[in-house]
């Protein structure tokens, strides 16, 4: 290409991207192409397909179905099942989220101190998060066991109760147990995130507060907590979303019982699809669940952004 | 022969015009500094030359080749970064050999070239170390070595000395001057430090707000600044700048500054297309204390050892002067003073343009 | 140190370790149970202190059940998924961080969004898709499924690791004569290696622990991984032999224990750099 051709192009189109820039852009697109491919094929497509499915009534084993339009949704929103399950889900989410955050922050603060064998302590605290939910459930169901479980035994020995408790088979025990196990399993996520942030708070802030007369509680609420605001905003959002859609833990612990009292929305979806063999209905429940999550997310983000920085 | 040309080069970031239209021609073998305050566009200009940024308009030429569409690898340039950008996972020797690797220099020839450069920069004993084991000065020399090993047409340096302490900086300045003298390569050097620019460059391109203010030798820039910005940017302590007015009176130009009146011969100023409002600039060494018809009150005396910086008031105007260190002056004294007429700089108050007629 | 400070330190230490022990108790109890002879376990009321140690449950688990097959399946699954995710994710993250093209920011946000989708929504169409392309009940179907939900998280992690690499390094490589891919291989990859390792570990753990997708997509014992395999044994056996289950749980967790003991810094780095920053 001659110089005059280049100058013509460059000068007359000041805003057009020149070919070196365009070459780089194309390379960038090439590199992200596999990601886009995979995600489109196995997330975007199924998502759209799920919404499509929800407009049919489908018999799972044969995958035969017929169009029902919005009938599934009418049933979902019209019946008490959905709303009760939503209620259960909200109780579970709020309960376990609260415990995760409170214990997460508390544990992070404690682990931030100079403790004997600190890294070992940290490892032990983080471990529950990284084991499989299956392992966690097996461990806890063994502990909760009414005949051989150690928990009832300890509680009786201390004197809190005098008969073994049915931890998973009656209410409100089942919900409490599920919330507690959920907190135990997932709170280390909060610990890691908060601990990382705690370690960046300059010591001088605490020293200044001490000189101004603040005690440990005062320092926590006036220095530590405000510094944690940003991390906690994100952590709360993430954990709330993940807790809300949690399936494995509750399914394996109680299966949704007793009498559907711990049957959260994800469990309903599974049961509709593979228990009642109504795949279209399951899809409708799933879509409804996502809409609710989306609504909460938007409200939360809106509130979080509104607060002065 | 012209080594580097910027032909109406324009750079836009989103809706911000960083560089409206830059015209600059750098001769082969020159050491040109791009000098200016932060944000003036000097680094962007250098990066466009390197190919790390793309101009939004105009042409950039290296030699007589337009390089707008060539990636950095094809431009036959080398660059020293402000952060040195040494590859942390490679040894010093591997760092220096990297450009040779990328250019396809046969493996057998590489060690000799690396060794030659290492000797030139006294890096011999450090060849097997990793960058994090080196001091700032050593890292800087490795970065230099990596740039030198390929013997490119043009060297680009982006504030390479700004992370060094003052003493090391002075030493490296001298080394760079020596290097340029020995190799005779074209060097384009970005800095905000006028001392570096003044001591090292064959010519300085002063930039502000994305625009070239003056492109001249250090002497010209110092003695005949083209506008008010260049005048105030170059020179430490800074030139005293006073706003005033000029009037023609009896075959002379009279500058009215506060209560002072300074007469200049008629040919001294080129007042075509100029308003009557002017800004007058005087360098500290051109403010003479002890002689002259006017009187001034000394406000502050700052002794620095070999000279003293004196702040004085005369006729409602505050001047900065420099006097030899052995002159004894005290604050509160009233002294005679005058300005060296030949070296008074006059600028148009509105445009900033230099109005002195010769130069 | 003053007496008051000493008391305070001791108190903090006691509190901390008491909490740590309470938190670790379920897992400690699991290990303890797996090592106790069967006779001790069926005692009512149960006893806290074990009186004997035996490896019989481990032996039975390994030789008398499909445990080893499940273990092998899980290993193949986790390794394949990790390799795939790291490869695709590294390239994708580099693209998101160092290139500009239209739609880049939208893409990044969408990727994040997919990360928050309930898997329960996706398994239905995914199940149908796998049936349609004939991969139902096979390990590859799980590899594909796991890749999809591990990829967004991996991208997020890798993206923030790469963003932390000074751009000057790549610029220097470009000026030195490298192409963009050359700069990526010579400079970015070595620098991103700790981040890549973190991502690989996280992905491995995700794939190793996954339950729901395995439950829905695979029904044959040949292709079952550990998670569904072990739970299946719980459901199908006549007696629930807790001793076996505890042994299985411990063995299931072995890779995690190994990763945790030797590579923990890589895991927590994942949270610091990539996990929870905006």
Tell whether B356 is covered by a domain. Answer: no
According to CATH, the superfamily of the domain at C60-275 is MetI-like (1.10.3720.10)
A142 with C246: Cβ contact below 8 A:
yes
Going from the C-alpha of C3 to that of each of A62, A81, C6, C8, the distances in angstroms are: 76, 62, 5, 9
Domain CATH number, residue B33:
3.40.50.300
Select from C175, C184, C196 the residue whose CB has the most chain B CBs within 10 Å, as the one to mutate to test that interface: C175
Tell whether B290 is covered by a domain. Answer: yes
What SS3 state is found at A303?
helix
More confident residue, C44 or B121: B121
Residues B190 and B270 in one domain: no
Which of left, alpha, beta for B149 (phi over 0: left; psi -120 to 50: alpha)? Answer: alpha
More confident residue, B216 or A296: B216
B55 with A10: Cβ contact below 8 A:
yes
Residues B321 and B336 in one domain: yes
Residues B203 and B118 in one domain: yes
**Interacting residues of A284 by C-beta distance below 8 A, sequence separation 6+:** A54, A72, A73, A75, A76
Residues of C in contact with B88 (CB under 8 A): 169, 191
For residues C7-16, one letter each, b for 16 or more C-beta atoms within 10 angstroms of the residue's C-beta and e for the rest, the string is eeeeeebeeb
* C-alpha triplet B171, B172, B176: angle, nearest 5°: 125
B57 with A19: Cβ contact below 8 A:
no
Quote the CA–CA distance of B92 and B104 in Å, as a whole number.
Answer: 19
pLDDT at site A12: 41
Mean pLDDT of C99-125: 78
The full DSSP string for A108-133 is HHHHTS--TTHHHHHHHHHHHHHS-H
Each residue's pLDDT tens digit, B287-322: 988 888 888 899 999 999 899 999 999 888 899 999
Q: Where is the domain boundary, B232, B263, B280?
A: B232
Residues facing residue B19 across a β-bridge: B11
Residues B280 and B220 in one domain: no
Q: How large a percentage of chain C has pLDDT more than 90? A: 27
What SS3 state is found at C203?
helix
DSSP tag of A163? S
Q: Where is the domain boundary, B232, B247, B280?
A: B232
pLDDT at site B358: 64
Each residue's pLDDT tens digit, B159-187: 999 888 888 889 889 989 998 998 889 99
Domain CATH number, residue B339:
2.40.50.140
Q: How many CB atoms lie within 10 A of CB A27?
A: 17
Task: Determine phi and psi for B30, rounding to 5 degrees.
Answer: -75, 155
Residues B221 and B276 in one domain: no
More confident residue, C134 or B286: B286
Write out the residues of chain B at the interface with chain C, using a CB-CB cutoff of 8 A.
50-52, 71-73, 77-79, 81-83, 85-89, 98-99, 102-103, 146, 150, 156
Mean pLDDT of B105-127: 90
Residues facing residue B319 across a β-bridge: B312
Two tokens, residue B238: 């800074």
Quote the CA–CA distance of C73 and C224 in Å, as a whole number.
Answer: 7
Tell whether B147 is covered by a domain. Answer: yes
Residues B61 and B201 in one domain: yes
Residue in C17, C49, C35, C53 with CA at minimum distance from that of residue A153? C49
B72 with C191: Cβ contact below 8 A:
no
Two tokens, residue B185: 């390569």
Domain that holds residue B329: 238-348
- Structural contact between residues C267 and C150, judged by C-beta atoms closer than 8 angstroms: no
* Bond from prior residue into B359 cis (ω within 30 degrees of 0): no
Residues B78 and B177 in one domain: yes
Two tokens, residue C89: 């994710």
DSSP tag of A223? I
B72 with C175: Cβ contact below 8 A:
yes
What is the pLDDT tens value at each position of chain A, 309 positions in all?
444 444 444 444 444 445 788 888 888 888 888 888 888 887 788 888 888 888 888 777 777 778 888 888 888 888 888 999 999 999 999 999 999 999 999 999 888 888 888 888 888 898 999 999 999 999 999 888 877 778 888 888 888 777 777 888 888 889 999 999 999 999 999 998 898 888 888 888 888 888 888 888 888 888 888 888 888 888 898 899 889 989 999 999 998 878 888 999 999 999 988 888 888 888 888 888 888 888 888 888 787 776 654
Indicate where chain C has its CATH 1.10.3720.10 domain(s): 60-275
The model carries a pTM of 0.82
Two tokens, residue A250: 């509750």
- Structural contact between residues C121 and C62, judged by C-beta atoms closer than 8 angstroms: no
Task: Determine phi and psi for B4, rounding to 5 degrees.
Answer: -135, 135
Residues of A in contact with C88 (CB under 8 A): 34-35, 38
Quote the CA–CA distance of B213 and B345 in Å, as a whole number.
Answer: 16
- Structural contact between residues A175 and A250, judged by C-beta atoms closer than 8 angstroms: no
**Minimal-distance CA residue of chain C relative to B53:** C171
pLDDT at site A17: 45
Residue in A105, A137, A72, A97 with CA at minimum distance from that of residue A280? A72
Q: Where is the domain boundary, B187, B207, B232?
A: B232
- By the 10 Å C-beta count (0-12 exposed, 13-18 middle, 19+ buried), A163 is classed as exposed
Interface predicted TM-score (ipTM): 0.84
- By DSSP bridging, strand B57-62 and strand B203-208 are unpaired
More confident residue, B218 or B275: B218
- Structural contact between residues B77 and B4, judged by C-beta atoms closer than 8 angstroms: no
Judged by a CB distance cut-off of 8 A, whether residue C207 touches chain B is no
* C-alpha triplet C58, C64, C67: angle, nearest 5°: 70
Residues B20 and B155 in one domain: yes
Q: CA of A174 to nearest chain C CA: how many angstroms apart?
A: 18
C181 with A27: Cβ contact below 8 A:
yes
What SS3 state is found at B14?
coil
Residues B118 and B250 in one domain: no
pLDDT at site A14: 42
pLDDT at site B9: 94
Q: CA of C160 to nearest chain A CA: how many angstroms apart?
A: 15
**Minimal-distance CA residue of chain C relative to B96:** C176
Residues B164 and B23 in one domain: yes
Mean pLDDT of C208-222: 88
Q: How many CB atoms lie within 10 A of CB B247?
A: 11
Q: How many CB atoms lie within 10 A of CB B237?
A: 14
pLDDT at site C272: 54
pLDDT at site C75: 94
Quote the CA–CA distance of C36 and C243 in Å, as a whole number.
Answer: 8
Residues B34 and B155 in one domain: yes
**Domains of chain A as residue ranges with CATH:** 18-67 (no CATH), 72-306 (1.10.3720.10)
Helices (H), B69-227: 92-102, 110-120, 136-148, 166-183, 194-200, 218-223
Tell whether B59 is covered by a domain. Answer: yes
Residues B226 and B247 in one domain: no
Going from the C-alpha of A303 to that of each of A236, A306, A307, the distances in angstroms are: 13, 5, 7
Instruction: Please tell me the least confidently modeled range out of A64-73, B212-221, B229-238.
Output: A64-73
What is the number of structural domains in chain B? 2
Each residue's pLDDT tens digit, C154-181: 888 888 889 889 999 999 999 999 999 9
What SS3 state is found at B303?
strand
| Residue C135 predicted with pLDDT over 60 | yes
Whose tokens are 């297309």? That residue is: B273
């Amino acid at each position: 290409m001659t110089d005059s051709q280049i100058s013509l192009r460059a000068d007359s189109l000041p805003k057009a991207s020149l070919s070196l820039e365009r070459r780089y852009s194309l390379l960038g697109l090439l590199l992200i192409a596999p990601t886009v491919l995979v995600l489109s094929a196995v997330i975007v497509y199924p998502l759209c397909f799920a919404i499509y499915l929800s407009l049919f009534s489908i018999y799972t084993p044969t995958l035969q179905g017929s169009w029902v339009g919005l009938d599934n949704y009418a049933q979902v929103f019209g019946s008490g099942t959905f709303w009760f399950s939503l209620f259960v889900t909200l109780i579970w989410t709020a309960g376990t989220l609260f415990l995760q955050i409170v214990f997460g922050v508390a544990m992070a603060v404690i682990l931030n101190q100079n403790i004997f064998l600190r890294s070992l302590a940290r490892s032990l605290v983080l471990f529950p998060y990284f084991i499989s939910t299956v392992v966690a459930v097996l461990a806890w169901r063994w502990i909760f066991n009414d005949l051989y479980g150690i928990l009832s035994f300890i509680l009786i020995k201390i004197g809190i109760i005098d008969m073994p408790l049915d931890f998973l088979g009656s209410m409100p025990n089942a919900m409490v147990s599920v919330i507690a196990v959920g907190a135990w399993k997932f709170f280390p996520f909060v610990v890691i995130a908060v601990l990382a942030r705690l370690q960046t708070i300059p010591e001088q802030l605490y020293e200044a507060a001490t000189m101004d007369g603040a005690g440990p509680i005062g320092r926590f609420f006036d220095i530590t907590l405000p510094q944690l605001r940003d991390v906690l905003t994100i952590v709360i959002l993430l954990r709330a979303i993940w807790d809300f859609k949690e399936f494995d833990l509750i399914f394996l612990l109680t299966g949704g019982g007793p009498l559907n009292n711990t049957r959260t929305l994800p469990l309903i979806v599974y049961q509709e699809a593979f228990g009642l063999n109504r795949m279209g209905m399951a899809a409708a429940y799933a879509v409804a669940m996502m809409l609710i999550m989306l609504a909460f997310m938007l409200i939360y983000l809106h509130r979080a952004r509104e607060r002065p920085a | 022969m012209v080594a580097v040309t910027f032909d109406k080069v324009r750079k836009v970031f989103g809706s911000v015009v960083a560089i409206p239209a830059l015209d600059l021609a750098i001769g082969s073998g020159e050491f040109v500094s791009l000098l200016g305050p932060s944000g003036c566009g000097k680094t962007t200009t250098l990066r466009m030359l390197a190919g790390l940024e793309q101009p939004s308009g105009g042409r950039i030429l290296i030699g007589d080749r337009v390089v707008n569409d060539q990636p950095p690898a094809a431009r036959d340039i080398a660059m020293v970064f402000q952060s040195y950008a040494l590859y942390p996972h490679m040894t010093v020797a591997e760092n220096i050999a990297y450009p040779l690797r990328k250019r396809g220099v046969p493996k057998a020839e590489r060690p000799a070239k690396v060794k030659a450069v290492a000797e030139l920069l006294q890096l011999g004993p450090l060849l097997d170390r990793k960058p994090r084991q080196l001091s700032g000065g050593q890292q800087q020399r490795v970065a230099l070595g990596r740039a030198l090993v390929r013997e490119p047409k043009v060297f680009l340096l982006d504030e390479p000395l700004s992370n060094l302490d003052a003493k090391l900086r002075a030493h490296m300045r001298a080394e760079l001057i020596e290097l340029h003298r020995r190799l005779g390569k074209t060097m384009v050097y970005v800095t905000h430090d006028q001392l570096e620019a003044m001591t090292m460059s064959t010519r300085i391109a002063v930039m502000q707000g994305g625009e070239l203010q003056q492109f001249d030798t250090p002497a010209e820039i110092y003695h005949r600044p083209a506008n008010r910005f260049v005048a105030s940017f170059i020179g430490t302590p800074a030139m005293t700048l006073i706003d005033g007015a000029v009037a023609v009176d009896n075959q002379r130009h009279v500058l009215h500054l506060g209560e002072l009146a300074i007469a200049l011969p008629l040919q001294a100023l080129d007042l075509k297309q100029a308003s009557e409002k002017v800004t007058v600039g005087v360098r500290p060494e051109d403010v003479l204390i002890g002689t002259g018809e006017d009187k001034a009150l000394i406000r502050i005396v700052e002794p620095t050892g070999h000279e003293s910086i004196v702040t004085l008031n005369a006729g409602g105007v505050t001047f900065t002067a420099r006097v030899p260190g052995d002159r004894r002056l005290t604050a509160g004294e009233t002294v005679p003073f005058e300005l060296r007429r030949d070296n008074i700089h006059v600028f148009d108050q509105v445009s900033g343009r230099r109005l002195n007629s010769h130069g | 140190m003053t007496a008051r400070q000493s008391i305070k330190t001791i108190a903090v230490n006691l509190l901390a370790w008491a909490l740590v022990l309470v938190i670790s108790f379920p897992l400690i109890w699991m290990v303890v149970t797996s090592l106790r002879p069967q006779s001790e376990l069926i005692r009512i009321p149960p006893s806290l202190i074990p009186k004997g140690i035996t490896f019989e449950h481990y032996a039975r688990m390994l030789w008398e059940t499909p445990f080893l097959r499940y273990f092998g399946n899980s290993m193949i699954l986790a390794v394949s998924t990790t390799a795939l995710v790291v490869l695709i994710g590294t390239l994708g993250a580099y693209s998101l961080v160092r290139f500009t093209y239209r739609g880049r920011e939208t893409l990044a946000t969408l990727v994040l969004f997919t990360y928050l989708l309930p898997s329960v929504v996706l398994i239905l169409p995914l199940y149908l898709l796998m049936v349609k392309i004939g991969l139902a009940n096979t390990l590859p179907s799980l590899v594909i499924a796991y890749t999809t939900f591990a990829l967004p998280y991996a991208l997020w992690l890798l993206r923030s690791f790469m963003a932390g690499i000074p751009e000057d390094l790549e610029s220097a490589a470009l000026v030195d004569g490298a192409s963009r891919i050359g700069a990526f291989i010579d400079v970015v990859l070595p620098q991103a290696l700790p981040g890549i390792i973190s991502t690989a570990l996280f992905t491995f753990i995700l794939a190793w622990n996954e339950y729901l997708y395995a439950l829905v997509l695979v029904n044959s014992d040949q292709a079952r991984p550990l998670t569904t395999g072990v739970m299946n044994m719980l459901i199908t056996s006549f007696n629930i032999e807790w001793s076996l289950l505890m042994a299985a749980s411990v063995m299931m967790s072995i890779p995690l224990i190994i990763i945790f003991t030797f590579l923990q810094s890589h895991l927590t780095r994942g949270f610091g750099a990539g996990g929870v920053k905006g």
